[in-house]
Amino acid sequence: MTVSNLATKTPVTVITGYLGAGKTTLLNNLLTRPNGKKIALIVNEFGEIGIDADLVVKSDEEILEMNNGCICCNVRGDLVRIIDKITSANRTIDHIVIETTGLADPGPIIQSFWVEEVLRDRTQLDGFVTVVDSLYFFRHENSCEAMEQVAFADHIILNKCDLVDCSQIVELETVIKRMNPLAKIERSENSVINSDILCLGGFDLSKALTIEPDLLESNSHEHQNDIAAICLSSYGSVNGDLFSKWISAYVQTNGENLYRCKGILNIDDQPRRFVFQGVHMTLEGRPGTPWRSDQVRTNQMVFIGVNLDEKILKDGFLNCHYASN
């Protein structure tokens, strides 16, 4: 018997955003704001000489650089090694913040926290924060990375709001909301924010209670870049075996185009909710918090991706329901 790997998981926040959006400024603001937490900062950048780490204000926090490439492509091993070191038994780190390169693809980064043993056992991905350059967002519309960073996010910071007029910000918010209705959107100037982005719980299935009702009523959210959010809701009990087979097959077939999905379901009329989330072909699901006895049990799911067929999703999901009496 051994008492290793027992500590509570260290929360991780990933900060991403296109080139020049204001990620490093956000980090500096974050690190200079006292929050009582001992933070380890991992800065990912291209090239052998780290530049971004030099731009980060000097503080008590530990700054580690990964500069052999992009975190989403070929430094996953580095990430595992660094987090292994940070979370070793004799260290006291309260939170890990990762700043990605501006060209990072969020999917593989999120997946690493589910599939890499060290990351899965010792850390809990808390949130994926994307800094958007309000001034140049529409110029980046042809960049897959810039759009995916928005589509994957739990929290989106519309930075440089002081450089655009109000109507443009409203338009930007509308476009972004259509691409990713799950994320909270916050306006900022110079990456100054009010929210506690180190406590988002964006990937914490144990706390998932509901998906915004407004979101589910609006069904499908089309966007000119083909990024769409499809929202499904239903009543009644869902057959766990059928659902498990259907969703697994769906993500295997459509995973490449599916960025994120989330759902809260009444499986087999069990006392607890069933909650799941997915990124591309990776899925995780578990029993969540119990339903209240006076509560109407609603099944709610959101799928965000490109070229998703709403009818296929809807029909497939409805086929998983028990026949109503």
Partner 1 sequence: MYTNFEEYAVSSLTGGCSNLPKVNGKLNFESEWSQKAFAIAIELSRQGYFEMEEFRQMMIKSIRKWENEHGLDDESWSYYSIWIAVLESLIYGRKILEKSDVTQLVAETFHCKNSSMPT
Task: Closer to partner 1 by CB, 28 or 282: give it.
Answer: 282
Residue type, 211: I
Task: Closer to partner 1 by CB, 18 or 113: give it.
Answer: 113
Binding span for partner 1 by CB under 8 A among 17-25, 50-58, 79-87, 281-289: 281-289
Residues in binding contact with partner 1, number by CB under 8 A: 29
- Find the length of the chain: 325
> Phi/psi of residue 176, each to 5°?
-70, -40
Binding span for partner 1 by CB under 8 A among 142-150, 157-165, 217-225, 235-243: 235-243
Binding span for partner 1 by CB under 8 A among 135-143, 161-169, 179-187, 276-284: 276-284
Within 10 angstroms of residue 185's Cβ, the number of other Cβ atoms is: 18
Give the shortest CB-267-to-partner 1 separation in angstroms: 5
Rg value, the chain, Cα: 20
Say how far apart CA 252 and CA 244 lie, in whole Å: 12
Binding span for partner 1 by CB under 8 A among 5-13, 135-143, 208-216, 299-307: 5-13
Task: Closer to partner 1 by CB, 128 or 274: give it.
Answer: 274
DSSP line for 184-222: EEEE-BTTB--S-TT---TT-GGG-----HHHHHT-EE-
Coil vs helix vs strand at 8: coil
Residues 283-322: x/- map of binding to partner 1 (CB under 8 A)? Answer: xxxxx-xx--------------------------------
Which listed residue (46, 240, 246, 316) binds partner 1 by CB under 8 A? 240
Tell me if 204 contacts partner 1 by CB under 8 A.
no
Coil vs helix vs strand at 296: coil
Q: Could you tell me the CA-to-CA distances from 276 to 150, 165, 197, 205, 292 in Å, in that order?
A: 21, 39, 22, 7, 19
Q: What residues have CB less than 8 Å from 256, skipping those under 6 apart?
A: 280, 281
Say how far apart CA 100 and CA 108 lie, in whole Å: 12
Give the shortest CB-121-to-partner 1 separation in angstroms: 7
Q: Could you tell me the CA-to-CA distances from 63 to 57, 129, 130, 218 in Å, in that order?
A: 10, 19, 20, 43
Task: Closer to partner 1 by CB, 17 or 288: give it.
Answer: 288
Give the shortest CB-198-to-partner 1 separation in angstroms: 21
Binding span for partner 1 by CB under 8 A among 29-37, 158-166, 187-195, 271-279: 271-279
How far, in whole angstroms, is CA 2 from its chain's centroid?
Answer: 34
Which listed residue (271, 311, 324, 325) binds partner 1 by CB under 8 A? 271
Say how far apart CA 217 and CA 172 lie, in whole Å: 22
Give the shortest CB-265-to-partner 1 separation in angstroms: 9
Task: Closer to partner 1 by CB, 94 or 141: give it.
Answer: 94
Give the shortest CB-202-to-partner 1 separation in angstroms: 18
Interacting positions 111-130 with partner 1 (CB under 8 A):
121
Which residues of this chain interact with partner 1, rule CB under 8 A? 1-6, 8, 121, 206, 240-241, 243-244, 247-248, 267-268, 270-272, 274, 276, 283-287, 289-290
